């Protein structure tokens, strides 16, 4: 199942070239009052959507996918967790790039840990990435994004995949420089997720997916998730050893080689096998 959000307050299921509007199902979810939960209600209630899938096929209003403005498939992630250098080829390119602090590339994730991006940095594919300071170098990074489906507290690698709700494409936009990653990667619009979430029952093995990014029509990143240094189950197990993962939390799994700077006016097309393609623009 491919779950999307669109027009800011609508939820849909993508089937072929159509979006089936299931907002009426989401509106029947429990009403939350302050203080709001630390999880994403849509992801927490995904089972309700799945139970009604047959009925959705016959009765949900249908729209043309081309005509809808897509938002991030996750509206309210409690945490956006990200892996630093996690592809072997990206380690090599970082060591050759004078703009990148080399000591960042040399230690394994198990030693340096994961980092967090502000949830306020999140946008969907229809919103532009906004370059905040054009004098600083700001890079694209395409990444497989893992969406957690339920509370995961100190889970083993063997059980980790039971906690995955689904996957989408993620862009981890990054200003290069000396500040902590959590600051350089958390500017407004610096996390793009889309174009929809593919649920784990449809995409059950994330360990061998082609992943590419093109900038203005030229391919810049081209790899496969089999080259991840710390794979998806290991990332979930490691993250959950430090904090409880909640429904809707996101793990950005790291980017392969080919990162480079963005300019205002650029057009990014990212693709992950089994998920789809996402077009994103860059503005100021
Ligand atoms: Mn990254």
The 3-state DSSP class for residue 114 equals coil
Residue 81 alpha carbon to ligand 1 centre in Å: 10
Residue 199 alpha carbon to ligand 1 centre in Å: 22
> Do 154 and 276 meet the contact criterion of CB atoms below 8 Å apart?
no
Strand partners, 164: 148
Residue 11 alpha carbon to ligand 1 centre in Å: 28
Residue 84 alpha carbon to ligand 1 centre in Å: 6
Residue 174 alpha carbon to ligand 1 centre in Å: 8
Q: What is the pLDDT of residues 227-269, one digit of tens each?
A: 999 999 999 999 999 999 999 999 999 999 999 999 999 999 9
pLDDT beyond 90 at 283: yes
CB count in 10 Å sphere of residue 215: 20
> Do 84 and 229 meet the contact criterion of CB atoms below 8 Å apart?
no
d(CA 131, CA 247): 30
Nearest to 163 by CA among 235, 252, 77: 235
Residue percentage of the chain with pLDDT more than 90: 90
Q: What is the pLDDT of residues 139-152, one digit of tens each?
A: 999 999 999 999 99
Mean pLDDT of 95-100: 81
Residue 73 alpha carbon to ligand 1 centre in Å: 19
Q: What is the pLDDT of residues 190-232, one digit of tens each?
A: 999 999 999 999 998 999 999 999 999 999 999 999 999 999 9
Kindly give the pairing relationship between strand 276-283 and strand 129-130: parallel
pLDDT of residue 157: 98
Residue 31 alpha carbon to ligand 1 centre in Å: 35
Q: Note the pTM of the prediction, 2 decimals.
A: 0.96
Kindly give the pairing relationship between strand 191-199 and strand 70-71: unpaired
Residue 252 alpha carbon to ligand 1 centre in Å: 7
Residue 173 alpha carbon to ligand 1 centre in Å: 7
Reduced to 3 DSSP states, what percent helix, strand and coil does the chain have, rounded to the nearest 5?
A: 20, 35, 45
Q: Is the peptide bond before 195 cis (omega within 30 degrees of 0)?
A: yes
> Do 73 and 194 meet the contact criterion of CB atoms below 8 Å apart?
yes
Per DSSP, 208 falls in state S
The 3-state DSSP class for residue 183 equals helix
Residue 181 alpha carbon to ligand 1 centre in Å: 9
Residue 90 alpha carbon to ligand 1 centre in Å: 10
The 3-state DSSP class for residue 104 equals helix
pLDDT of residue 88: 87
Q: What is the pLDDT of residues 98-141, one digit of tens each?
A: 877 777 777 899 999 999 999 999 999 999 999 999 999 999 99
Residue 214 alpha carbon to ligand 1 centre in Å: 16
The conformational region for residue 22 under phi > 0 = left, psi -120 to 50 = alpha, else beta, is alpha
Residue 216 alpha carbon to ligand 1 centre in Å: 20
Residue 202 alpha carbon to ligand 1 centre in Å: 25
């Amino acid at each position: 199942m491919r779950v999307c959000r669109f027009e800011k307050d609508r939820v849909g299921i993508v089937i072929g070239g159509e979006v089936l509007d299931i907002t009426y199902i989401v509106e029947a979810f429990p009403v939350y009052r302050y203080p709001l939960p630390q999880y994403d209600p849509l992801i927490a209630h995904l089972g309700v959507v799945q139970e009604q899938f047959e009925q959705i096929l016959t009765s949900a209003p249908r729209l043309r996918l081309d005509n809808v403005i897509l938002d991030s498939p996750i509206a309210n992630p409690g945490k956006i967790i990200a892996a630093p250098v996690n592809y072997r080829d990206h380690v090599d390119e970082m060591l050759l790039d004078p703009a990148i602090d080399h000591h960042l590339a040399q230690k394994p994730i198990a030693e340096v840990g994961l980092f967090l991006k502000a949830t306020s940095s999140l946008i969907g594919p229809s919103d532009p990435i906004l370059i905040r300071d054009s004098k600083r170098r700001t890079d694209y990074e395409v990444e497989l994004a893992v969406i957690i489906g339920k509370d995961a507290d100190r889970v083993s690698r063997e059980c980790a995949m039971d906690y995955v709700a689904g996957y989408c494409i993620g862009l981890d936009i990054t200003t290069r420089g000396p500040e902590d990653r959590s600051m350089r990667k958390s500017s407004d619009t610096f996390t793009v997720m889309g174009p929809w979430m593919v649920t784990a029952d449809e995409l059950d093995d994330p360990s061998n997916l082609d992943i590419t990014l093109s900038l203005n029509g030229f391919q810049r990143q081209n790899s496969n998730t089999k080259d991840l240094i710390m794979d998806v189950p290991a990332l979930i197990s490691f993250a959950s050893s430090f904090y409880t993962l909640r429904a809707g939390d996101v793990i950005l799994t790291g980017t392969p080689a080919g990162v480079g700077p963005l300019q205002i006016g650029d057009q990014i097309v990212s693709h992950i096998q089994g998920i789809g393609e996402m077009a994103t623009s860059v503005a100021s």
